[in-house]
Amino acid sequence: MRISLIGSGRVATHLAKVLARSYQIVQIYSRQYTHAEQLAEKVKAQAVNQIEYIQSDIDLLIIAVSDQSIAQVIEQVAKYLPNVLTVHTSGSTDLCVLTQFHTRSGVFYPLQTFSLEREVDWSTTPLFVEASTAQDLAILNDLAQSLSQSVYLYSSAQRLSLHLAAVFACNFSNYCYDMAKQVTDAQQVDFSLLYPLILETAHKATQNDPRRMQTGPAMRGDQHILQMHQTMLESARQDELKSAYTLLNEQILQRHQAQDGVY
């Protein structure tokens, strides 16, 4: 399979690298030519900075750009590459954003957090595929199966619900880690002391219903501890952390009071 990619960021980089192990990466497009060059060199591809320069004799074109740029990109693709199967990698963008301009359209969405500093275990990364035709869906499904043991044929609505859930599970939880580090740093406490707690919490949440695993002063209804923590944050002038602390504890209280009747 001959594949080209539009984009040179984190998702494009990880996808290009893993696909290059088994398939030919033909071209890497980026508006900034130097960025295209850097990724193209890693996967032995050609760098381009004009969509009209993308070769039409490829089997698949992957759009790995920001969500707000997808519609603009697919309009140009439809103009210059009307017969090429083209997919985006977004969790929150509906397939119709592509199909309104381009007949052979699909989705190839990896449910994973990507950083340039860390490699991705593609064999365990869930991949979600969708396409406008059964034939193209089969092509994308086969490609996904070659990378991952977890491949799903989900609709755009299902994929969007997963993307929203991922924001809570990944983005928000990581920000909570950031807030925790701000608290420890303020008193010169070693943040790494929380690692076992973080790992055990994540392990329990993946092995059980997270609601049943909830612990902490809000879960117990311990108003004395809640007030003491809020006073500490107020005294340290950490107003943003205090606001987040108060809001999250209110949500925990309401969640468990409403469903359990006790805390």
For residue 261, what pLDDT is reported? 45
Can you give the three-state secondary structure of the chain, one letter per residue? CEEEEECCCHHHHHHHHHHCCCCEEEEEECCCHHHHHHHHHHHCCEEECCHHHCCCCCCEEEECCCHHHHHHHHHHHHHHCCCCCEEECCCCCCCHHHHCCCCCEEEEEECCCCCCCCCCCHHHCCEEEEECCHHHHHHHHHHHHHHCCCEECCCHHHHHHHHHHHHHHHHHHHHHHHHHHHHHHHCCCCHHHHHHHHHHHHHHHHHCCHHHHCCCHHHHCCHHHHHHHHHHHHHCCCHHHHHHHHHHHHHHHHHHHHHHCCC
Instruction: Supply 228's token pair.
Output: 């003491």
For residue 80, what pLDDT is reported? 96
Distance CA 241, CA 252 (A): 16
Q: What is the reported pTM?
A: 0.84
Q: Spell out the domains of the chain, with CATH numbers in brackets.
A: 2-154 (3.40.50.720), 160-260 (1.10.1040.20)
> What is the residue type of 134?
A
| CB distance 18 to 122 below 8 Å | yes
Distance CA 129, CA 216 (A): 39
One digit per residue, the tens of pLDDT, for the chain of length 263 reads 999 999 999 999 999 999 999 999 999 999 999 999 999 999 999 999 999 999 999 999 999 999 999 999 999 999 999 999 999 999 999 999 999 999 999 999 999 989 888 899 999 999 999 999 999 999 999 999 999 999 999 999 999 999 999 999 999 999 999 999 999 999 999 999 999 999 999 999 999 999 999 999 998 889 999 999 999 999 999 999 999 999 999 999 998 874 444 43
Beta-bridge partners for 152: 128
| CB distance 78 to 57 below 8 Å | no
For residue 262, what pLDDT is reported? 41
Instruction: Supply 135's token pair.
Output: 């034939």
For residue 92, what pLDDT is reported? 94
